[in-house]
Amino acid sequence: MMKTVLRAEKISKDFNVGDAAVHALKDVSFEVYEGEIVVILGPSGSGKSTLLNILGGIETASGGDLEYEGKSLDWGDEKSLTEYRRRHVGFVFQFYNLLPGLTVLENVELAAGLTPDPFDAEKLVKEVGLSDRADHFPAKLSGGEQQRVAIARALCKNPDVLLCDEPTGALDSRTSVQVLELLWNFNRNYKKTLLIITHNAKIAEIADRVFFMRDGMLERIESHDRPKAPGEVDWS
Amino acid sequence: MKLFTRNTFRMAKKNKGSFLGAVFVIAIGIFVFVAMLDTLQNLKGQVDSYYEKNGLADIFAEVSGISAVQLDALEELPGIKKASGRLTKDVRILAEGQTEMASVHLLSAGDGEEEADSLNRMTRTTTKNTSGTQDMIWLGKRMIDACGYEPGDTLRLLINGVSHEFILAGSVSTPDSIYSIPSGGAMVPDGETYDIACIEKKRMEELTGSGAMLTELGFLLEPGYTYEDIRGSLSDALRQYGLISLTGREDQASYDMVSGEVDQLISMGTILPVMFLSISVFMLYVVLKKMVDRDQSLIGTMKAFGLTDRELMASYLMLGAAAGVFGSLIGGVLAIPFGKYMFDMYVEFFNLPDTVYHNYIGTRIGGTALAAATGIGAVYLGVRDILKINPAQAMRQRTPDLKRTGKLPDLFERHLKLPAKMAFRSLLRNPFRACLIALAVGFPFSMASVLFSFRSVADQMYFDQFDKIQTFDFELTLDRYESPVRAAESGLLLDGVEDAEAVYSGAVQLQNENRTEFAMLYGLNINSSMWKIMDIYRTVFTPPAGSVILNERIAKKLHIKRGDQIRISIPGVTVRETTVPVADIIAESVGSGCYMELASMGDTFGIPVPANAVLLKTAAGSRETVKQKIMETNRVTGLVDTGKIVKSYQEMMGSMMMMVDLFAVLAVAAGGVLIYNISMINIRERVTEFGTLKVLGQTEKEIGLMMLLEHMVSFFAGIFIGFPGSFGLKVLVEKIIVSDSYTIDLIVKPPAYIEAFVICLGIAALAFLAEMKFVRTISLTEVLKERE
């Protein structure tokens, strides 16, 4: 029996745009298990980013319940949400969001300083292939390199769940594969849960399960018995 | 184009706090500009027209006595167009229930035709006619108001030791006594103790026993002539009539005070608005620069669509003009009551007759134009980068500045924790941002420290004079010369007097080569405990025997320096000039005297009994009793009550200080708006950075600590900048507030710096709290959608 890390129960999210109410998420329910890769796939406006933000504790749901390791998240308690983000969740953003005033190593060390049991920052920088650029500032790195730093930063916290928002959205195909390989290796080597949102259907091939989103609803879930490694996917 | 402008204004609405801040500061600038210039125009216009209407003379002279015929003969001197004079005498005035010893500068009033043809014509308002048997007197309005006299009241004048009754008929004013103070003693007009008065000429001649003699003269110059051109010849011609003083219009006491105030108003009305408008320029520049940075891709797109640089810039410039015009409207309206208040204050201060306050439309148009130009200028500085924007480039992500990493020296970095490292690097990576905060702090710090020091300077000027220099309670002017010992002894005879000293106090003529000046000479005791000679740096000098200590302003006019010989004559006392060396030249806060030892005056000038005044120090609680006794004696022709002078100074300074305090409040308010706005502009730029930190799990406390470090560095840099700023401002203020009557040494003392520091710290703390509130409200989901 696989351990449930996240359990969403009828999650909904409404936004008010002027007088009109937009239902970004409608009664979305699912479970995410320890150590699996979940790709959330869907067109623009399907609600996948909103869902990821709710899972990451940076957005509150309008309704429903989200449990992390069997405990409900208290949307009203900003302190506990910060603690949740700090201890259990790692983020990788489409536009990297590195701190420009810190070097590669320091960006990673910053995250390491937030948890009691972080990974070794230098080792992670080496793992993402940037040990020779450890003392460079983000402005001197290419997009792919910046994303690798962002991944190292996210991993360094030793999070239970890594949430990736279009991690390859701003990268060329070759660099995208390198980035996905990093994420895949992390998942396989450390048995950490990985959630990736993307509109690129090819990425779904590396997932254990794929959540298809449409119009704010979870349309279907597809399981892969034998997910591919990024290198095995035909990206052409 | 119209739509782009609409978009620009709509986007500006998102920054409405910054724009309103700029509008507020512009409003302050224009408020000061309009209020000052309106006051100035009203004051200068009405004073000038009063001078013109009443024929203010170009040259003023005082002689022992000259007949009208002899005076008319002086019109033959080249350069003299017209000469006229009147009989004058300083006499004591007595009234029922009088509490102060008061004196008046009594003027003779000729008949209608004679008066109409004279210079320095008096304006008399008669409200009470009397029967032909009673003598009438017209009194200065300041004294009427201060003493509460009513037309028809009986007043007595003590002339040559004899009391004469007069009925108060009305008020009198002359253009040369707008600022009416007695010679020596008070620096601030006090209607309770001194003013001008006039009685019919014939009666005055009878009562004073002067016959048909004139003592105070006025001369009008032919066009093309100056005072300097005829000074020599006129001085020579008047010597035979016992010349006591000769001055050009610029140096005439009342004219000098009024023009000094007008000059200060011009300086203040120029410098203060420029200061406030500079802040608004700074603020608008920052807001617009950031706006254009943010809108770069939009501007690129518009350029790609075919909009010209001029069209694009015009949209932003309209924003600046709108801020300027809006600010000027608010400032112009606020200036109405304040300008009137200031004008009324001057009217009371100078005792101006028949004044009407006008709100000049020209000042407002000028203010609006100035404000609009300020707004447009500031915006232009901010948006001129539009010209450099290349459409294709603008739509791409901006290339990072690879050189500016913000890396600190290794030695330094090693000792810093990560939040501190981040804070310092952030400062180094974006020094412009740090500079903006520093400048925003530096400005109010400089301005507040100088303005807060002003009160102590004013105190130093006046209170020091009576607290450290003239420490006596009363100075009595005697009706004749006495030996110093006898004069002091007679002072000590009064009950309640603790100490008494004799002094000499009188007008003298000083000459160096062909330069002449009239000044007060004070003969003081060498070990005087009641009158010290002290300069603005608080150095005490001993009155020299056989030589003089000269005031710096007089020395400058005479082109004389320490060690030079100076010729001195005492009109009406000495028959010949005496040459003495200048022992020292000193800068004094108030007054413009020269000093020597009293005991040496006998030998130096050949005066056997040189004392003409007595200084008294009273025992505790006997001040009023002694004063009453003095008022009862008829040997005393004048009384200087230092306590009364300080009181009237305090009353005058009360209104003046209100103005200074208002400017201090405005400076602090402008500084507050500046610090707050720049802080908020900066924080908005860093939404992504702080949002990311929050998403990573950093607490607000941790983020706050980093921001606090950054703030502290910028804040202290601002305070550091503020010190030279404060010095510059101090020099500027000293230059503005310079007059023939006083010199100031504006020392910005530690308490003023501390006060300014605390205020700036308070504002910075409020701005920091506002920033933290902003950080708390950052929408993490929105942040993550944004590109760095």
Global ipTM: 0.71
Which residues of chain A lie closer than 8 angstroms to B785, CB-CB?
A: 49
8-state DSSP, A37:
E
Chain B residues whose CB is inside 8 A of the A111 CB are 696
Q: What are the chain B neighbours of A25 within 8 Å (beta carbons)?
A: none
Name the band, by pLDDT with cuts 50, 70 and 90, for residue B783.
low
pLDDT tens string B5-19: 777 777 777 777 777
Q: Tens digits of per-residue pLDDT, B695-740?
A: 888 888 888 888 898 889 889 999 999 999 888 888 887 776 655 5
The whole-number pLDDT of residue B404 equals 55
Q: What residue segments make up the domains of chain B, in order of their start?
A: 1-60+249-399, 88-209, 468-642
- Nearest alpha-carbon partner for B431 in B671, B706, B710: B710
| C-beta separation of A125 from A136 below 8 A | no
CA B396 to chain A, closest CA, distance in angstroms equals 13
CB-based contacts of B473, cutoff 8 Å, min separation 6? B616, B617, B618, B623, B626, B641, B642, B643
3-state secondary structure of B75: helix
How far is the C-alpha of A30 from the C-alpha of A35, rounded, in Å?
16
- Flag if A100 and B429 touch (Cβ within 8 Å): yes
Mean pLDDT of the residues in chain B: 82
Q: How many CB atoms lie within 10 A of CB A231?
A: 12
- Give the tokens for residue B682: 């900066």
Residue B614: phi, psi to the nearest 5?
Answer: -130, 135
For the segment B369-402, what is each residue's pLDDT rounded down to a tens digit?
Answer: 888 888 888 888 877 777 676 655 555 555 455 5
What residue in B sits closest to A56 (Cα-Cα)?
B695
Return the half-sphere exposure (C-beta side, CA atoms, 13 A cut-off) of residue B394.
20
User: Which chain B residue lies closest to A165 (C-alpha atoms)?
Assistant: B784
Q: Is B110 exposed, middle or buried (0-12, 13-18, 19+ CB in 10 A)?
A: buried
Phi, psi of A29 (to 5 degrees): -130, 140
Per domain, the residue ranges of chain A are: 4-228
CA distance A114 to chain B (A): 7
Q: Measure the CA–CA gap between B644 and B684, rounded to whole angstroms.
A: 59
Residue B32 CB partners (closer than 8 Å, separation 6+)? B268, B269, B272, B273, B276, B331, B335, B663, B666
**pLDDT over 90 (residue B513):** no
Enumerate the residues of chain B whose CB falls inside 8 A of the CB of residue A138.
400
SS3 A130: coil
Please answer yes or no on whether B429 and A106 come within 8 Å at the CB atom. Answer: no
Q: How confident is the model at residue B547 (pLDDT cuts 50, 70, 90)?
A: very high
In which element (H, E) is residue A28 found? strand A20-33
Q: Which two tokens stand for residue B562?
A: 């320490």
Look up residue B512 and give its two tokens.
Answer: 């160096």
Please give, rounded to a whole number of angstroms, the shortest distance from the CA of A226 to a CA of chain B: 33
Q: d(Cα B633, Cα B181) in Å, to the nearest integer? A: 23
Level-2 CATH architecture, domain A4-228: 3-Layer(aba) Sandwich (3.40)
Q: Quick check: B692 and A165 CB within 8 A?
A: no
Q: What is the pLDDT along chain A (236 residues), one digit of tens a residue?
A: 688 999 999 999 988 777 778 888 999 999 999 999 999 999 888 988 889 889 988 888 999 999 999 999 887 787 888 888 888 988 888 777 787 777 888 888 888 878 888 889 999 899 888 889 888 888 788 888 888 898 888 888 889 999 998 888 777 778 888 888 988 988 988 888 999 998 888 899 999 999 999 999 999 999 998 898 888 888 77
- DSSP calls for A212-230: EEETTEEEEEEE-SSPPPG
For residue B407, the chain A residues in CB contact (below 8 A) are: 103, 137
List the one residue out of B233, B142, B157 whose CA is nearest residue B192. B142
Q: Which two tokens stand for residue B71?
A: 């005076």
Say whether B218 sits in a helix, a strand or coil: strand
Q: Which helix (H) or strand (E) holds B33?
A: helix B16-53
Q: Where are the alpha helices (DSSP H) in B295-360?
A: 296-305, 309-350
Q: Check CB contact under 8 Å for A85 and B697.
A: yes
Q: What predicted TM-score, i.e. pTM, was given to this entire model?
A: 0.66
Q: From start to end of B222-326, where are the E strands?
A: 243-248
Mutate which: A137, A153, A162, vs B, most B CBs within 10 A: A137
In angstroms, rounded to a whole number, what is the distance separating the alpha carbons of residues B60 and B80? 12
Rounded Cα distance, B597 and B525, in Å? 6
Write the single-letter amino acid at B55: G
What stretch of H or E contains B678?
helix B642-685
Distance CA B548, CA B183 (A): 20
Closest alpha carbon to B198 in B111, B285, B77: B111
Residues 6+ apart with CB under 8 A from B231: B246, B248, B516
Cβ(A126)–Cβ(A197) under 8 Å? Answer: no
Give the separation between CA A201 and CA A153, rounded to whole angstroms. Answer: 26
B347: amino acid identity, one letter: V
Task: Provide the CB-side half-sphere exposure for B181 (13 A, CA).
Answer: 23
Looking at residue B640, its amino acid is V
DSSP assignments along B405-467, one per residue: --PPPHHHHTT--HHHHHHHHHHHH-HHHHHHHHHHHHHHHHHHHHHHHHHHHHHHHHHHIII
- Written as one letter, the residue type at A235 is W
Do A181 and A144 form a contact (C-beta atoms < 8 A)?
Answer: no
In chain B, what percentage of residues exceed pLDDT 70? 88
